Structure 1
């Protein structure tokens, strides 16, 4: 039996930090309001000169270093992003060039905040099918450029960053199962509805969100997809050593954990210092938990996310 296994993780956060107190001077909000409703204290903002591929490059190099992998060994690159460098070519192709990787497939996945889950599941299937040996999977976002900084309901939530993993062929279980879903009937609930025609932006290019609807839907499907994982793999919730959810809102994370009967001590939460980094949030949180020693060999790690579309899914990993 052929499996895929994560052998290296990496993360990158831009140098500039925007705190809640900074936002108090920009929009009608307060540090207390943001903390109590989201759990966010600060977020990182990309420099004007930085593109999504630049953030991805830094995270990828960290993951490659951790996994002991050279550019020549990578034979698949998948980038999850909602904020690509340009309409085309793909951010994955741009990243491929910056890394000095030649000839392998490289493409983007667009599933918003579930993007990394979708990308990781896709890379796993490539490896299991024998179509590649070593994959680079990246989530990278610059949400600061698609926010209306006068809209206090959205601009306080998001941040910029990138996370990456190196996935390679293994005869030992690594990724155990993946579970992907979408329901396009909710496509207007969380969106950046603008488009381009004749080289000009039309409509609203900024993030819009029906917060209460997103909250209720997220808690519902995040609970359901965990039970889907448990049933398929004949596990109990007590068998999960670490839950790493998409870092959207601490209330969503706490509500999901409570419904599952999972203590928060088993949940990796990083959004206090990063905000919602969309497709980058799960690999960033994973990298932190790996590097600080929380995640250990032999443990069951469950990644899950939900994003605009709506898309949602989960990946179960034996570390």
Structure 2
């Protein structure tokens, strides 16, 4: 992309549904004998948010994007030519959420993509896609929408709710506004699809049904002690590798990072990542205890929180990084925050 037009992550916004949900929601009726309850992967956050029974992916996206409309003007946002959407749990798998989000917001994008892959690091992946489209076409504006609703839907099912895995996720939506030009240039991105780990994260049921088959068993994530150990080992390695690679591409060291924003799987990953990169906690904001693991929405939600709380300053080198699923994708992006302001 050397010599390509400047593309900026001009703004971010977030929406969290409902009131915070405490741990007592899960400890009541917790399943005895859950072999994973004491695993570091499932050390629960204090709070998380859950969608209401009638809230959809589109509802969350509409509320998050409304904040961007309030800041930049509805007409400007509605003139966006590119809409990229990742929904962790699609309400309607066959058609995705993108077209309905466009209709609800009054958008008429030339480019509309529902991104099914890249999971918890999909914000980085969609930022790369947006940068490529804006740098090589006449499009000048893009919206990135990351929506997560699995916590209040999948993980609150009566049987699944009693498992250790269910207290970790939280719901929310994070959105990014990307423009040709703008105050926060995207300096570099690195992404990697890792096919050997594809399929290692599975949805399972006690009776073996597939997700579209109607029976009484409830869907859950198919965690075992062996699979959790593998994910912990991969995740500990993949994110620092991606951030190291990004910094090398820029001719910098990880010590030059002012603010690191990652996905938010658990406290162990967050601690291990910043220690591997040599960063103090104050340069690695997190939202885990307030929001839980918000999956794909975690990077924009955490960045929005860090910006609004004053943890990100004009001119800061902000690095976004994460990995997806059981390790089948990893990526990192560097942004010079509000360099032009």
What TM-score, normalized to structure 1?
A: 0.91
Give the unaligned 5+ runs of structure 1: none
Distance 1:67 1:104, change over 3 A: same
Deviations 1:259-289 (A, max 9, x none): 1111111001101011111110110001111
Q: Do structure 1's residue 78 and structure 2's residue 88 form an aligned pair?
A: no
Tell me, in whole angstroms, the C-alpha distance in 1 between the residues paired with 2:177 and 2:183.
16
Deviation (angstroms), 1:184: 2.7
1:47 Cα deviation from its structure 2 partner: 0.4
CA distance in 2 between partners of 1:196 and 1:155 (Å): 18
- Deviation of 1:208 (Å): 2.3
Pairing 1:259–2:276 present: yes
The answer to whether the aligner puts 1:229 opposite 2:239 as a matched pair is no
1:38, distance to aligned residue in structure 2 (A)? 3.4
1:4 aligned onto 2:7: yes
* 2:174 is the alignment partner of 1:163: yes
Deviation at 1:33? Answer: 6.2
Helix, strand or coil for the counterpart of 2:10?
Answer: strand
Greater strand proportion: 1
Distance 1:283 1:34 in 2: 27
Tell me if the contact between 2:10 and 2:184 (Cα under 8 Å) persists in the aligned partners.
no
Deviation by residue 1:148-185 (Cα, 9 ceiling, x = unmatched): 62452311111111000111011776111111112232
Q: Distance in 2 between matches of 1:201 and 1:169?
A: 49
Q: How has the CA–CA distance of structure 1 residues 201 and 221 changed in structure 2, closer, same or farther, with 3 Å as cutoff? A: farther
TM-score (norm 2): 0.85
Unaligned runs of 5+ in 2: none
**Cα RMSD between the aligned structures?**
2.6
State which of 143, 146, 155 in structure 2 corresponds to 1:136. Answer: 143
Give the stretch that moved more between structures: 108-117 or 294-303.
Answer: 108-117
1:99-178 to 2 correspondence within 5 Å? 99-110=105-116, 111-144=118-151, 145-147=153-155, 149-150=160-161, 152-170=163-181, 174-178=185-189
Change over 3 Å in CA distance of 1:269–1:80 after alignment to 2 = same
| Count of aligned pairs between the two proteins | 317
